[in-house]
Structure 1
Amino acid sequence: MLEHGGNLQQACIDYDRPLEAWLDLSTGISPYAFPIPPISPALWQRLPIENDALLDTARRYYQQEHLLAVAGSQAAIQALPHLRPRSRVWVLTPAYAEHAHAWRQHGHTVTERDHLPEMSELQNVDVLVVCNPNNPTGRLCPPAQLHAWQQALAPGGWLIVDEAFMDATPENSISAQAAKPGLIVLRSLGKFFGLAGARVGMVLAAPDLLDQLREWLGPWTLSGPARLIATAAMADHDWQHAQRHRLLQNMAKMQGLLNAARISPTGSTALFSYWQDPRAIDLHTHLARHGIWTRLFAQPSAIRLGLPPPERWDMLQRALSDWASKQSPCNNSA
Structure 2
Amino acid sequence: MLEHGGRLRAAAQRYGMAEADWLDVSTGIAPWAWPIPPIEAQDWARLPQADDGLEAAACAYYNAPRALPLPGSQAAIQALPRLRSGGKVGVVSPCYAEHAHAWRKAGFLVREVLAHEVDYFLDSLDILVVVNPNNPTGLLLAPERLLEWHARLAERGGWLVIDEAFMDSTPASSLAAETTRSGLIVLRSFGKFFGLAGVRLGFALAEPSLLKALAREIGPWAVSGPTRRIGLACLSDQGGQQRQRQRLEQASIRLAGLLAAHDLAPTGGCALFQWRVTAHAQPLYEFAARRGVLLRLFIGENADACSLRFGLPASEADWQRLDTLLHDYFKELT
Give TM class, smaller chain. Answer: over 0.9
Correspondence 1:1-334 to 2 at 5 A: 1-153=1-153, 155-299=156-300, 300-310=305-315, 311-328=317-334
Is this contact kept in 2: 1:258–1:264, CA < 8 A? yes
Task: Give, in whole Å, the separation in 2 of the partners of 1:169 and 1:280.
Answer: 28
Post-superposition CA distance 1:211-254 (Å, at most 9, x none): 10011111111000100000111110100100011011111111
Q: What amino acid maps onto 1:229 in structure 2?
A: I
- Name the stretch that deviates more: 318-327 or 112-121: 112-121
Match of 2:212, SS state, is helix
Q: CA deviation at 1:115?
A: 4.0
For residues 63-97 of structure 1, give each alpha carbon's deviation from its aligned partner in whole angstroms, at most 9, with x where no partner exists: 11222010000000000000001110010111000
For the residues of structure 2 that align with 1:314 and 1:41, how far apart are their CA atoms? 42
**Which residue of the partner structure matches residue 331 of structure 1?**
none
Identical counterparts, % of pairs: 48
Checking the alignment, whether the CA contact within 8 Å between 2:26 and 2:311 is kept in structure 1 is yes
Q: Which amino acid aligns with 2:87?
A: S
- Count residues with an aligned counterpart: 328
Shift, 1:120, TM fit: 4.4
Q: Is the 8 A contact 2:65 2:179 kept in 1?
A: no
C-alpha root-mean-square deviation of aligned residues, in Å? 1.2
Q: Distance in 2 between matches of 1:198 and 1:179?
A: 28
Q: Is the 8 A contact 1:89 1:127 kept in 2?
A: yes
Q: Which amino acid aligns with 2:58?
A: A
What is the CA distance between 1:171 and its match in structure 2? 1.1
Query: Is 10-19 or 157-166 further displaced after alignment?
Result: 10-19
Amino acid at match of 2:125: V
Decide whether the 8 Å contact of 1:92 with 1:116 is kept in 2.
no
- In 2: Cα distance, 1:291 partner to 1:219 partner: 42
- Taking the aligned partners of 2:255 and 2:329, their CA distance within structure 1 comes to 15
Contact 1:90-1:110 within 8 A present in 2 as well: yes
Give the deviation of 1:312 after TM superposition.
1.5
Residues 55 and 66 in structure 2, CA contact (< 8 A), matched pair in contact too: no
What CA distance in whole angstroms lies between the structure 1 residues aligned with 2:314 and 2:122? Answer: 43
Which sections of structure 1, spanning at least 5 residues, go unmatched? 329-334
Structure 1 contact 261–323 (Cα < 8 Å) conserved: no
- Is the contact made by 1:28 and 1:191 (CA closer than 8 Å) also made in structure 2? yes
Q: Helix, strand or coil: the match of 2:117?
A: coil
Deviates most, 147-156 or 224-233:
147-156
Q: Which runs of 4+ in 1 moved over 3 A?
A: none
**8 Å contact from structure 1 (residues 257, 320) kept in 2:** no
- Match of 1:52, SS state, is coil
Distance 1:206 1:298, change over 3 A: same
Q: Name stretches of at least 5 consecutive residues in structure 2 with no aligned partner.
A: none
Q: Is this contact kept in 2: 1:262–1:324, CA < 8 A?
A: no
- Give the secondary-structure state (helix, strand or coil) at the position aligned to 2:192: coil
Compute the TM-score of the two structures, normalised by the length of structure 2.
0.96
**SS at 1:91's partner residue?**
strand
How many angstroms does 1:27 deviate by?
1.1
Whether the aligned pair in 1 keeps the contact of 2:88 and 2:110 (CA below 8 Å) is yes
Q: 1:323 Cα deviation (Å)?
A: 2.2
Q: Once structures 1 and 2 are overlaid, which stretch shifts more, 55-64 or 319-328?
A: 319-328
**2:164 aligned partner, one-letter code:** E
- Bigger drift between 145-154 and 204-213 goes to 145-154
Q: Give the superposition deviation at 1:256.
A: 1.5
Question: Contact between 1:178 and 1:184, CA under 8 Å: does it hold in 2?
Answer: yes
